[in-house]
Amino acid sequence: MDTHPFGMEILSCENRLSRFHTHICRPLSALKGQFADQAAYNQMLRTGDPVVYEVYEVLRPVVAGELPHGLSIVHPGRVGDEYFMTKGHFHSVRDTAEIYHCLKGHGLLLMQNEGGEWATEELRPGRLVYVAPGWAHRSINLSETEDLVTFFVYPGHAGHDYEAIERRGFLKLVVQCDGTFRVVDNRVGSGVVER
Ligand code: S6P
Ligand code: ZN
């Protein structure tokens, strides 16, 4: 991999970077078990498999001094009352942070740590969120019409641990209620109901 400095453009109109290594598209079918309303999830899949989010990433060598970075685009939509969102993950090396900078749209970063604490931070253009070390994170698009576009950067040795979230879900769900969003308990995550 090139070890020289480089520059790039964030192509806002196209929601992509002028240079990147990977472009991941996550369709609804890749989020099996993540949305609380399984009937709504299955019903939606019967009529298609929309792309829920996309990620353009500039990869870097897997070492602590590097900074992989990219663009995350969560499309608008809902499964039942729950907004479209990313899978969410811990970093495999827990002691690693991440920064998200919102470029477009309106969303939430939902976070939780292994001690059972949770937090949300709103994402609006110009707003930056610092995901502290040890906090799992998921981006959620609160808009009915607009993409949520964020720029992220994290340490090269962080790695991604999806398993804990896939197994238990987040402690909280973010749902649409009376025209606004609410953060509610995830009864599945608390172990009351098996997913
Ligand atoms: C990487 C960073 C983002 C996410 C992206 C998709 O540490 O947090 O690049 O990978 O927002 O989310 P997820 O949970 O599917 O990786
Ligand atoms: Zn991350």
Whether residue 195 is contained in a domain is answered as no
Cβ atoms of residues 35 and 80 within 8 Å: yes
Whether residue 3 is contained in a domain is answered as no
Q: List the 107-113 sheet strands across, edge first.
A: 118-123, 107-113, 135-141
| pLDDT for the residue numbered 1 | 83
From the alpha carbon of 162, which atom of ligand 1 is closest?
14
Cβ atoms of residues 116 and 34 within 8 Å: no
66, 84, 86: which to mutate for ligand 1, most atoms within 8 A of CB? 86
| pLDDT for the residue numbered 187 | 86
Whether residue 184 is contained in a domain is answered as yes
Distance between Cα 109 and ligand 2 center (Å): 11
Whether residue 110 is contained in a domain is answered as yes
Whether residue 44 is contained in a domain is answered as yes
| pLDDT for the residue numbered 2 | 85
Whether residue 5 is contained in a domain is answered as no
Over the chain (195 residues), the average pLDDT of each successive run of 10 is 94 97 98 96 98 98 98 98 98 98 98 98 98 98 98 98 94 97 83 38
Whether residue 1 is contained in a domain is answered as no
Whether residue 6 is contained in a domain is answered as no
Q: Please name the residue ranges forming H helices in 2-85.
A: 38-46
Domains contained in the chain, number: 1
Alpha carbon separation from 40 to 8, 33, 43, 128 (Å, rounded): 40, 12, 5, 33
Distance between Cα 96 and ligand 2 center (Å): 9
Which residues, 6+ apart, have CB-to-CB distance to 13 below 8 Å?
none
List beta partners, residue 109.
121, 139
Range of the domain at 90: 11-190
pLDDT digits (tens, 9 = 90+) for 27-38: 999 999 999 999
CATH code where residue 27 lies: 2.60.120.10
Distance between Cα 71 and ligand 1 center (Å): 9
